[in-house]
Structure 1
Amino acid sequence: MKRRNFIGLTGLGATGLASGALSAFPSGIFASHLQKDLIATELNATLVIAGGGIGGCAAALSALRNGLDVIMTEETDWIGGQLTSQGVPPDEHTWIETHGAPQSYRDYRNAVREYYKKNYPVTAAAKSRQYLNPGNASVSALCHEPRVSLAVLHEMLAPYISSGKLTLLIEHKVRSAEYSANRVKALKVQSLRSGRSYILSGTYFVDATETGELLPMTGTEFVMGTESRNETRELHAPLKADPDNQQAFTVCFAMDYVPGSNNVADKPAEYDFWRNLVPKMSPAWSGKLLDLNYSNPKTLEKKTLGFNPNGSPTDPFLNLWNYRRILAKDNFIPGAFKGDICTVNWPQNDYTLGNLVGVSQKEFDHHVGRAKQLSLSLFHWLQTEAPRPDGKQGWPGLRLRKDIMGTEDGMAKYPYIRESRRIKALFTVLEEHVGQENRVQVAGAEAGKKAADFYDSVGIGYYHIDLHPSSRGNNYIDFASLPFQIPLGSLLPVRMENLLSANKNIGTTHITNGCYRLHPVEWSIGEAVGLLVSYSLKKQVIPQKVREGKQLLEEFQEFIGKQGVETKWR
């Protein structure tokens, strides 16, 4: 890997990274010290990935597995995105244990289970379960702690870091890009710890950021928010387009419960505001936000949820305590844990009062700060006012588990952002391709049994189309989709030749993003991107040519199939 110095770019700090291997440690401690000067070091790799979330990690792993050298940046000190720094256990379909995702994703999931069995005091019964669910949660068959995902991902990447094939720049943010015509030449990144700048040059670049940050920096055409029904012909699209109409984001947190203790602290600064807020939604929300009533996502009728840390998984209504529980003490020997641990990513802490996409850093920080106040207020409300089955109010034994999220305030390191800038792609997935009702409307009853077949499929996935309340006051939009394919054309910008998308920024619409934004699909997208770069380099063609050429495309699909990627549903 070449390293040379560029004069004239300001290095603002005294420390930085001289070795990719040293940057891999989750602590974020840098063992190298570079001279404080006005020089920015250039790092060069075949593939440069901005964003170390699920898609970024999957892209890196598949590229590294095929012999490429990679630089990957990550804004926080934890790689893994939704799984780690955002504190969101995986949302998956019911077939995930056997098919419907790449083999590498199932390898990751199996490694999570093995980590618990090897390192935790699990009971004999739990250890014997092939499909151990550490949290016994209702939302996923693999609800687990963020740090376990972090450890597994680092283990998967460790050999490449040691060999020098991967340079991992944690706590680094992309500040600008150099590009001309249809190609990206380099990215300028800055260490958030030292202030030192680096120039990352490469042959291919991947935007795996949570908000599609590279798109405006590189002049890549993109869309935001909602498209109009006239543009997309989608059954659930609004009449008018609105780039500022985006799904809520959430700042998650973790908590446990110690009966008989009192962990109530002073109420958060904005508690009174959030305690009395009635969301302005259309159709109307069911009442105050901090309540156990909410709008049923599918019918929008008022629905009551339960919350009981002492409750049973067989409670007659959904017990939020069990919903995203990441550690169930019953899976471990008696006395190992004082109680269960669960993460909070609920209707009550969805933030709809502003967006994080396409805004200034000041505005981004402002809304994240308020979203943290919302989550802290929800936690305080649960401790002090939440209705209990015994007629009392509040659960003072609830504890905010700052250690689980690895932060001083107990909030996740990064917000869970459901919607990003999206490339104007060679092919855009529409509701008529994957939405059951829309397919019936467009192509008849038979079409409503199966999603559209994409000749250029490079992966598969499934989730219902799930849009959370939006910044413009839309209530839930939640309806049936069909097991779908990931078309290669959705990963390719209409013009740029060496920039690929590997997160929620692919060629979907506001509507279809609702089923392409979940954990295994993001992994599948990243996997396909890493393999596409490898194959394109081998054939000495740009990725667009792979899609255009029948023989090249068939060879590519065979190539990825041999590496455990499914392109068709069984």
Structure 2
Amino acid sequence: MNRRNFVQLLTVGSGAAVSGLHVPFANQSRAQSYSSGKMAQELKADLVIAGGGLGGCAAALAALRNNLTVILTEETDWLGGQLTQQGVPPDEHQWIETHGATQLYRDFRKAIREYYRQNYPLTEQARSQPYFNPGNGAVSRIAHEPRVALAVLYNLFAPYLSSKKLTLLLEHKISKAEVTGNKVRSLQALNLKKEQEVGLTAPYFVDATELGELLPLTKTEFITGTESRQQTRELHAPEKADPHNQQAFTVCLAMDYVPGSNNTIDKPNNFNFWRNFTPKMNPAWSGMLLSLEYSDPKTLATKALGFHPEGVATGQALNLWNYRRIIHKSNFVPGTYAGDCSILNWPQNDYYLGNLEGVSENDFKKHVQQAKQLSLSLFYWLQTEAPRPDGGQGWPGLRLRGDILGTEDGLAKYPYIRESRRIQALFTILEEHVGAANRALITGKEKDNTAAEFYDSVGIGYYHIDLHPSSGGNNYIDFASLPFQIPLGALLPKRMENLLPASKNIGTTHITNGCYRLHPVEWSIGEAVGLLIAFAKQKKVLPREVREKTNLLVEFQKVIRSQGIETHWPT
């Protein structure tokens, strides 16, 4: 395979291309083998951040506002990670409007609402709502279009781009690292359009990639998959560790509904396979995958779901159309939209027949292709076979909306990744620290509702522990957690001195990743990392010394609180 073919856009179904989706390198040796040898330029900054997801963006903004220069690379052509290129409306906790996230994250959310108020023909009722929710999606208090989040991110970065304090390298992928001892010296990024290498040098580096891709490149120690109960003492950990047992990923899809129209797509190539597919899991799945029944995440009992793209109530069953709806036409002046728009990111299009981490580029491409076929097959099933309340079958008025996601085929630019490589950290967050039942066992208090207190807290967050079905055959693992802190020790690799994680690659376990992986927590992690690097550089110390020296830690926590980061939940 030559480099041109290697970075070409992946195709699905009828052959339409997905813009911006490129196959990542599986390991350092393979990454080096695809280097073109043509070094276009050498760039230097105070900080190099690989990965333009929410953690990477937050780290960059924090560093920039503290007078550092930053190089930010992103392998697709969109910033924003799970919120934009992956098409996932924000999963957040119930207190998000007032606390439980950084001030910058809440300002970002306010700016999204203001963007709609300034640019969209809202109804007066919608315009007057202080907590306006564009899609009135059930999963989020601010379910909105990915493009709006992208626009707001660019507004935040605009002054730094203009002043050249930020160098943004879109469609660039890190291909090689130079490491001496415990320090990263430089990175090389492959320009995926020009097939040229760019050298990146800085005192500090951040891995904000979706799969923790700098870790193997820099020989940073990491963990994947499930740990055993013997290793972690976690209540929900399995008896045996399995590094290949990882959560499902999903290729999301955008769709709207035009009543009375027929937008039925060509039958996807793999439809017959997915139409007859019954997941093999332990405990057992509820039945066939393409169905309006699934395994309840908490009880694993069979649970009925509803579907009606006009937003009509579906009895006691959740209407999946409303779940991740990002445009609710009733919020806009009549005639603006023919119908609502929703994101297809449901239990039925979780893909767990293979992993994306640690595999060859061919296997990565194969699994992404199959996941895309699954999402298209589910969409086709909705158009042609899904049961309707009137006794009929199918909703042909459903229409793919690639423009919503910046693609031609309606599918997201990049898979929604739930689980990454995780650093071997100075401190690892265990279920006993944040899981409600496990915590009660440790403390001896049956109704303990307080997560572990971390002396080195650099942020807070909350989400229940939510593990989707896995490649190793686990069904849902979903149970209560407690409002938690983000310990600085979980952001520090055991050995490496100038490389820090800023995504789902921090020091969690497979279990605790389930509550530290969501939008506001990833943002909080990234912002803390950006501030830590700025502080360490100013004090001329290593990041780990900030944790080791009490006076520095106290000062650092005071600094981050002054910049809008909460380190403790209100009592």
TM-score range, shorter chain: over 0.9
1:49–1:70 contact (8 Å) kept in structure 2: yes
Match for 2:147: what amino acid? R
Match for 1:272: what amino acid? N
Distance 2:266 2:58 in 1: 42
1:135 paired residue number: 135
- Please state if 1:118 is matched with 2:118: yes
| SS of corresponding position for 2:308 | coil
Deviations 1:340-363 (A, max 9, x none): 000011000000100001111111
- Greater shift after overlay, 277-286 or 443-452? 443-452
Match for 2:115: what amino acid? Y
- Greater shift after overlay, 354-363 or 483-492? 354-363
Match for 1:256: what amino acid? D
Deviations 1:244-288 (A, max 9, x none): 000000000110111111111220000000000000011100110
Distance 2:476 2:443 in 1: 26
2:257–2:399 contact (8 Å) kept in structure 1: yes
In structure 2, relative to structure 1, the CA distance for the partners of 1:143 and 1:496 (3 Å cut) is same
2:532 paired residue number: 532
| SS of corresponding position for 1:419 | coil
Give 1:39 shift. 3.5
Q: What is the correspondence of 1:135-154 to structure 2 with a 5 Å cutoff? A: 135-154=135-154
| SS of corresponding position for 1:188 | strand
Deviations 1:52-78 (A, max 9, x none): 000000000000000000000001000
| SS of corresponding position for 1:445 | coil
2:59–2:531 contact (8 Å) kept in structure 1: yes
Give 1:449 shift. 1.3
TM-score scaled to structure 2, two decimals?
0.93
1:480 paired residue number: 480
1:234–1:431 contact (8 Å) kept in structure 2: yes
- Please state if 1:455 is matched with 2:422: no
Distance 1:12 1:275 in 2: 35
List alignment gaps of at least 5 residues for structure 2. Answer: 6-18, 21-35
Q: What is the correspondence of 1:107-506 to structure 2 with a 5 Å cutoff? A: 107-312=107-312, 315-445=315-445, 448-506=448-506
In structure 2, relative to structure 1, the CA distance for the partners of 1:233 and 1:447 (3 Å cut) is farther
In structure 2, relative to structure 1, the CA distance for the partners of 1:81 and 1:313 (3 Å cut) is farther
- Greater shift after overlay, 51-60 or 191-200? 191-200
Give 1:317 shift. 1.4
Distance 1:321 1:72 in 2: 36
| SS of corresponding position for 2:154 | helix
- Please state if 1:518 is matched with 2:518: yes
Q: What is the correspondence of 1:545-556 to structure 2 with a 5 Å cutoff? A: 545-556=545-556
Distance 2:413 2:425 in 1: 31
| SS of corresponding position for 1:187 | strand
Distance 2:406 2:4 in 1: 27
Match for 1:411: what amino acid? L
Give 1:315 shift. 4.2
Give 1:447 shift. 7.1
Identity of aligned residues (%): 69
2:16 paired residue number: none
Q: How many residues align?
A: 540
Give 1:312 shift. 3.1
Distance 1:39 1:509 in 2: 39
2:38–2:197 contact (8 Å) kept in structure 1: no
1:88–1:416 contact (8 Å) kept in structure 2: yes
Deviations 1:325-383 (A, max 9, x none): 00000000000011100001100000010000111111111100000000000000000
Superposed CA RMSD in Å reads: 1.5
TM-score scaled to structure 1, two decimals?
0.93
| SS of corresponding position for 1:250 | coil
Match for 2:500: what amino acid? L
Give 1:441 shift. 1.2
Match for 2:424: what amino acid? K
Distance 1:458 1:565 in 2: 7
| SS of corresponding position for 2:259 | coil
Give 1:316 shift. 2.4
Give 1:446 shift. 6.0
Distance 2:518 2:38 in 1: 42
2:307–2:314 contact (8 Å) kept in structure 1: no
| SS of corresponding position for 1:281 | coil
Match for 1:439: what amino acid? R
1:563 paired residue number: 563
Deviations 1:197-231 (A, max 9, x none): 10101010000000000001101000000000000
Give 1:289 shift. 0.2
| SS of corresponding position for 1:466 | strand
Match for 2:369: what amino acid? G
In structure 2, relative to structure 1, the CA distance for the partners of 1:313 and 1:393 (3 Å cut) is closer
Distance 1:159 1:265 in 2: 43
1:19 paired residue number: none
Distance 1:313 1:127 in 2: 25
2:450–2:483 contact (8 Å) kept in structure 1: yes
1:83–1:90 contact (8 Å) kept in structure 2: yes
Give 1:40 shift. 3.5
2:289–2:348 contact (8 Å) kept in structure 1: yes
List alignment gaps of at least 5 residues for structure 1. Answer: 1-10, 14-26, 29-35
Distance 1:303 1:496 in 2: 47
Match for 2:493: what amino acid? P
Match for 1:329: what amino acid? K
1:89 paired residue number: 89
Match for 1:538: what amino acid? Q
Distance 1:414 1:403 in 2: 15
1:210–1:503 contact (8 Å) kept in structure 2: yes
Give 1:304 shift. 0.5
| SS of corresponding position for 2:202 | strand
Distance 2:538 2:320 in 1: 50
Distance 2:347 2:323 in 1: 12
1:439–1:447 contact (8 Å) kept in structure 2: no
Q: What is the correspondence of 1:51-62 to structure 2 with a 5 Å cutoff? A: 51-62=51-62
Deviations 1:10-62 (A, max 9, x none): x999xxxxxxxxxxxxx99xxxxxxx994331100110000000000000000
Distance 2:457 2:533 in 1: 16
Give 1:310 shift. 2.1
| SS of corresponding position for 2:451 | coil
2:461–2:486 contact (8 Å) kept in structure 1: yes
1:504–1:513 contact (8 Å) kept in structure 2: yes
| SS of corresponding position for 2:46 | strand
Distance 1:189 1:57 in 2: 18
1:68 paired residue number: 68
Match for 2:430: what amino acid? L
Structure 1 stretches of 4+ moved >6 Å: none
